[in-house]
Structure 1
Amino acid sequence: MAEMSDINIQKLTIVQHAIASCCGAIITSLFVTPLDVIKTRLQAQSNPFHKGKCFVYSSGLTSHVYVCGRGDSKTWYKKPGHFKGTLDAFVKIIQIEGIKVLWSGLSPTLIMAIPTTAIYFTCYDHLCEALKNRPGKNDEYVPVIAGSLSRFGSVTVVSPLELIKTQMQYRTLSYKQLYLCISTKVAVDGWFSLWAGWTSTILRDVPFSAMYWYNYEHLKKTMCKEVGANEPTFFVSFTSGAASGSIAAVTTQPFDVVKTHRQTQLWESETLKIPQKDGKSTWAVMRKIVAGNGITGLFTGITPRLFKVAPACAIMISTYEYGKSFFSHLNEKKNQHP
């Protein structure tokens, strides 16, 4: 199985890797976004968002912060409504507001997900290839190393875009105004201010990626042996991705809670100009959550996160594997018939 994977990777170009990962990101966002729209509406119904406050939206691939009910802001969030449950919310939103509302927030999701996913998955495969070809190799931990490094790199590269996107979401800015806004922030707080929230993101995403890829490669290899397949089938990739994503999601949930808290703080301090009294460090936020809600507070929202992460991981990896297989066979045909 490992040999077959290596051959496939060598046949694909960087562009083909990027195309396969981008297709996965688009399809995943299309499937998962409605789930989060409904979840957010149900949450708002039981605990209404106050005017001028914000909430975190996550598609399973990326997360975003939105402001609620301000007359001068462009936001997809309107009002909670009165829903009895998930199915009732699904039906009523379509009947009253139209089916398009279920994909509200899709644009910023894709803007962040496509470059992040392209960098992440392309780097992962090429790092795996490089690490497996090194002398004295021990392939067992290659997915852990490659997954951690590729996620570290993608988060670091894309992190400033999150801050820029936050500014653009809150108020309409021309490119000149946006440039002045960002340049002023850099002049006052330095270049590192563009990476605000980077630490909590790294603490959540790097361990997630390490566990996800280790479990995914192991499960994929085991299932391929059981079904006697040389390449992972769609079912094998889908099942392995869902299981691996669930395990990683549960383990890293405390850092996801901290990340959500930090995103909300960042929004309020950057756009609503609300001074933040809490400690800025990730550990300070974690201590505050434990002090107020106990250890269970660090696992708040684990159920809805699993409902998003499991299908998101399953759809993303199965689509990506299918895309790689497609390009591999396409390249093979070209080589046979030049």
Structure 2
Amino acid sequence: MNGQTPGSPALNGITPVQQMISSCSGALLTSLLVTPLDVVKTRLQAQNNPLGKGKYFVYCNGLMDHICVCENGRGWYKAAGQFKGTFDAFYKIVCCEGITALWSGLPPTLAMAVPATVIYFTCYDQLCAALRARMGERSQEAPLLAGAIARVGSATVISPLELIRTKLQSQKQSYGELTSLIRSVVQAEGWWSLWRGLGPTLLRDVPFSAMYWYNYERGKNWLCQWYNTREPTFTITFISGAGSGSVSTSPPPSGSTIWMQNWITYLSGPVSSSTFSIMKKIVAHDGFRGLFAGFFPRLIKVAPACAIMISSYEFGKAFFRKHNQERILPQVHSTNT
């Protein structure tokens, strides 16, 4: 019925499980390739503003941002000397601490980024296909809406987990104490306290997601026409992902500085501050330029991260699509004969 054989994939020739595997592989690859860049960036910043025990800092691998806590009294890093630049930092970190130091902080990144990316990309594809079928002549706008909704869903699901992870790290509690931690937070401030910091995250990420997917789909279609091909190649998806990530990364008034301040305010004590009150404090202290702090470092990471993530995701989907076609065609042939 509907021209499909039993067991055939329901969306674009692949199943939701295969979409999840593709997005999971993309998140792993992106984290492995981009994490060393952020480690070096953070270490370069730390030599000008040393991070002592108990200090918080933002860690971003291009997929997600995390609040991390320094755990030892001499800072979160070994003394590798004074860095003169990016390449010098790479060399000295590898020589003094070993090559594995370039992937410091990777486990918590994978623990949060992988499930968030799986939810995000799978929801986007499912929503986009459903919206295109319903929107008719306006189907080209489906990626805009699907991207926004998918980002809201993934951020809402992951936000409580990120809060719990950060509090576990900052308060040195074991995973066995997780239930009592959640109960104490809910009793003290209610269920909504688990989503503290979600507002500024959505304010930054939802517009980016909507514009990213819209620009990506348009760019991909344009390049397919340029190269006269029906199926996008790895090069096409890589260029489209990098270009869309660069164009879509606008400096919203809820950038990394506000997001970090909101979380640190919560983790440091019971004092509650809204996003807009924190924005006012930043403007009063640093001016309007303070609202855009961290924009250019974020842009440098977002473009390659988007390119690696989307191209590997599309490659995975193409692999499964070809595999499914090879598996289904013999069944169709035997049925017809």
1:123 maps to amino acid:
C
Residue aligning to 1:4: none
Pairing of 1:29-44 with structure 2 (within 5 A): 29-44=31-46
Query: CA 1:44/1:81 → structure 2, altered by over 3 Å: closer, same or farther?
Result: farther
Corresponding residue SS for 2:58? strand
C-alpha contact 1:41 1:81 (8 A) present in aligned 2: no
Larger radius of gyration: 2
Residue aligning to 1:210: 210
Residue aligning to 1:290: 283
Deviations 1:284-312 (A, max 9, x none): 22222222222221222222111211111
Distance 2:165 2:71 in 1: 19
| Deviation for aligned residue 1:185 | 1.1
Corresponding residue SS for 2:59? strand
Distance 1:22 1:69 in 2: 29
Distance 1:105 1:156 in 2: 23
2:60 maps to amino acid:
S
Corresponding residue SS for 1:64? strand
1:162 maps to amino acid:
E
Distance 2:145 2:102 in 1: 37
Question: Does the alignment pair 1:153 with 2:159?
Answer: no
C-alpha contact 2:200 2:254 (8 A) present in aligned 1: no
Match among 55, 66, 69 for residue 67 of structure 1: 69
Residue aligning to 1:250: 250
Distance 2:10 2:112 in 1: 28
Corresponding residue SS for 1:303? helix
TM-score normalized with structure 1 length:
0.90
C-alpha contact 1:42 1:80 (8 A) present in aligned 2: no
| Deviation for aligned residue 1:205 | 1.0
Residue aligning to 2:328: 335
Residue aligning to 1:45: 47
Residue aligning to 1:23: 25
C-alpha contact 1:56 1:263 (8 A) present in aligned 2: no
Corresponding residue SS for 1:298? helix
Distance 1:167 1:80 in 2: 29
Distance 1:76 1:289 in 2: 26
Query: CA 1:309/1:8 → structure 2, altered by over 3 Å: closer, same or farther?
Result: farther
Query: CA 1:140/1:257 → structure 2, altered by over 3 Å: closer, same or farther?
Result: farther
Distance 1:267 1:102 in 2: 27
The farther-off stretch of 45-54 and 154-163 is: 45-54
Q: How many residues align?
A: 323
What residue ranges of structure 1 are gaps of 5+ in the alignment? 1-6, 270-274
Query: CA 1:216/1:46 → structure 2, altered by over 3 Å: closer, same or farther?
Result: same
Pairing of 1:1-338 with structure 2 (within 5 A): 9-70=11-72, 77-78=77-78, 81-134=81-134, 136-252=136-252, 254-269=254-269, 276=271, 280-338=273-331
Cα RMSD for the two superposed structures: 2.1
Corresponding residue SS for 1:10? coil
Deviations 1:98-147 (A, max 9, x none): 00000011000011011100110000001011011116441121111000
What residue ranges of structure 2 are gaps of 5+ in the alignment? 1-8, 332-337
